[in-house]
Structure 1
Amino acid sequence: MNRSEAAETAKRVYRYMMHSESNEWGRHEWADWAMNVDRWDWNAGVGLIAAGEYGTAASEDGIMREIAEWVDRNRKRSEGVEVINEMAPFAVFPSLYRATGLAYYRDEAESVALRMMERSPRTRNGAFEHTVTENAIFREQIWADTVFVAVLFLARTARLLSDRRMAEEALRQVRLHLNVLQDEDTGLLYHGWNCETEDWMSAARWNRANAWNVCAVPMILEETKGLCESSETLEEIARRYVRLIEAVATRQNPSGLWPTVLDRPDFYEETSGSAGLACGIYKAVRLGLVPAGMKACADRAVPAVIRKIAATGAVDGVSGGTPVLESVEAYDRVPVFPTLYGQGLTLMLLAEAAVSA
């Protein structure tokens, strides 16, 4: 990987994510939802998490100031937030507290984390039910997305507060999600599980569902290290995670990308999930969670992802917002366009690749 090329590309990806104008987003009906950063939801939250990772890796102090400015502009939108899909922006609060010393970030992170632990709807086995801002209810459903958009925040807050109970809950959620979503035959994760009907609904081994976990689990383990003493929980997470990485590696296309459904190589290749998978593999190798040889898999993905980035910094080939769909085939019909989470996962990959080079 050419480091200077990756660094310049990352700057363009960041600019498009945080500073592009509506006339750059295209004319499709989802453009504002996809790229308007001033919303308090998971889409912008993934972008903010990525911005923080990128700022740290590139030693760009100004990025943390921009994240703080985003919070100042949008904090009123966070009042009363309780649904799982709205937790993601709070994941930057621990870093903001460390950077600024402002008690607001620490106190708000603690308050929201406690509220999530005590009041968020749970499935019958104790997992966080995947609640969303849209007018839809997914009762008794466990989605892979939750690990990145909510559990990561809980783990970061546990580290900030040195709170063992929060750390244990974060790891418990990771274990529950991997336990019910991992296909024992392939090692891949299904998109979701319905505790009421006891099935995987569409039974799609969706690219981005796997990416949310491949990327988030090393981050969560790093944040909770030393705070949780449950060896049984940690051992199961480690065992399932290694199996997941091994399964993902075998599904990578010769191009370096992964298809939007991992066991359907005839489906289109999807950029955001591919970036998240490669980023997670880099993190896992760096933390010693998987063998060093797995790094080659991520190395192959980087140039393939870079080829999907336009001169403007827009990341192409990103599938739109995707609930658990009615069939596996439906995933191949999801339209593609630039999104904040697509920019974010790509930015995280570029930042991690630079560190892991």
Structure 2
Amino acid sequence: MMPNQEVLLEKISKVSHAMETMKNTSINEQFPIGLIDIHLWEWPQGVGLYGLLQLYEATKDAKVLEFLESWYNARLMEGLPEKNVNTCAPMLTLMSLCELTGNPEYERVCEEWSSWIMKGLLRTGDGAFQHMITGDANDGQILIDTLFMTVLFLAKAGVYFKKKEYIEEAKRQFLVHIKYLYNKETGLFYHGWDFNGNHNYGAVHWGRGNAWYTAGVMDLLNIIPIEDGLKTYLLDTATAQIKALSKLQHKDGMWHTVLDDSDSYQETSATAAFGYGILKGIRYGYLDESYRHIGMKALAAVLNHIDEDGVVQQVSYGTPVGQGAQFYKDIAISPMGYGQALTLFILIEGLQVQAADIR
């Protein structure tokens, strides 16, 4: 049953507040930059901020915009970290703040970082963006995550700065990542590819990795103009993936962290991103209406994993590429900014479904 508007709005308020105050209280983080505390500049926080941006765009709540501006102003005052694939993630929302505020400092930073992507980001085979992260160049490695963390920003920067070459590069990166990461036998994506050893590591169909494509491609289509042939190709790939996902969705609406391994735990951030991509794709006419029930089941499942304080439960911690399914099964579960954000994505899409039904 479709949750009513009051329930969705209450959950959105709690989830967004929980993200704005998120601190690490339980995990001994091993990464150079923490992944949980909202007041740090890394990819989880970047996805989190993008969730708040979507909330602002849907509600025009001035307090949300105020939080976003204060967050970026504080980080710019502190000084930004090294440039890499993951630290590009917060730039996607900053690019939108350029449009909303006209702040010249925001524009300067976005111009600098988008230019670096084109000229300084390491490339590997077929010119693919190498998945370099803080403290590790990851020689020869590409991951599906890069499409969401870096390529969406590059696409948006291309539109804002009127740089056609940025837009074309964003299209190319989607194509090359599909070439090496899409498994045509299953319709799902592998997490990574190693150009040095020519292999897909453990050849695992990781849930959230797949979700970065499902959500990311729907957003890409709304960021840049895409010619019909390429648009059809990207959506054919998404549709094949969603067909595969429909067979793997648990009866309660969740997906497992290893999609085709029912012994792996169910995972909320992937479920939210799948549901978001499906419902958004239908709303914009990119996907067939027949997939709506899959997205709505995901929405119901995600709602069941939001606690009384608005903290999204059953979210897997940051996950590098692994050599087998057990690696992903052993990833810790913890509240994360991207868990909050991807939940906001699907809750906001739920509101859109309601509005359409009322009309």
After TM superposition, the structure 1 = structure 2 runs for residues 304-319 of structure 1, keeping only pairs within 5 Å, are: 304-319=301-316
Aligned-CA RMSD value: 1.8
User: Partner residue of 1:324?
Assistant: 321
User: Partner residue of 2:294?
Assistant: 297
After TM superposition, the structure 1 = structure 2 runs for residues 136-155 of structure 1, keeping only pairs within 5 Å, are: 136-155=136-155
On the 8 A contact 2:129/2:142 being kept in 1, the answer is yes
2 CA distance for matches of 1:26 and 1:92? 26
User: Partner residue of 2:357?
Assistant: none
1 CA distance for matches of 2:128 and 2:282? 28
Match of 2:21 among 15, 19, 22: 19
Deviations 1:121-175 (A, max 9, x none): 0112111110111x33421111011111111111111222232211111111111
Helix, strand or coil: the match of 1:35? coil
State percent identity of aligned pairs.
30
Helix, strand or coil: the match of 2:189? coil
On the 8 A contact 2:205/2:259 being kept in 1, the answer is yes
Query: Structure 1 pair 249/162, CA: closer, same or farther in 2 (3 Å)?
Result: farther
User: Partner residue of 1:5?
Assistant: 7
User: Partner residue of 2:216?
Assistant: 216
Helix, strand or coil: the match of 1:222? helix
User: Partner residue of 1:62?
Assistant: 63
After TM superposition, the structure 1 = structure 2 runs for residues 119-130 of structure 1, keeping only pairs within 5 Å, are: 119-130=120-131
Q: Which moved more, 1:161-170 or 1:232-241?
A: 232-241
2 CA distance for matches of 1:161 and 1:249? 39
Deviations 1:221-249 (A, max 9, x none): 11112xx55x5543432321221222222
Q: Which moved more, 1:106-115 or 1:85-94?
A: 106-115
Deviations 1:25-78 (A, max 9, x none): 543324993431111110110100111011111221221121010000001455
2 CA distance for matches of 1:182 and 1:77? 40
Alignment length (residue pairs): 350
1:335 and 2:335 correspond: no
Under a length normalisation based on structure 2, what TM-score does the superposition of the two structures give?
0.93
Q: Which runs of 5+ in 1 are unaligned?
A: none
1:210 Cα deviation (Å)? 0.5
1:181 Cα deviation (Å)? 0.7
Helix, strand or coil: the match of 1:142? strand
1:182 Cα deviation (Å)? 0.7
Under a length normalisation based on structure 1, what TM-score does the superposition of the two structures give?
0.93
Runs of 4+ in 1 over 4 A off after TM superposition: none
Deviations 1:312-357 (A, max 9, x none): 1111100111101121122112110101111111111111221133
User: Partner residue of 1:260?
Assistant: 257
2 CA distance for matches of 1:115 and 1:232? 29
After TM superposition, the structure 1 = structure 2 runs for residues 94-173 of structure 1, keeping only pairs within 5 Å, are: 94-133=95-134, 135-173=135-173
2 CA distance for matches of 1:248 and 1:13? 26
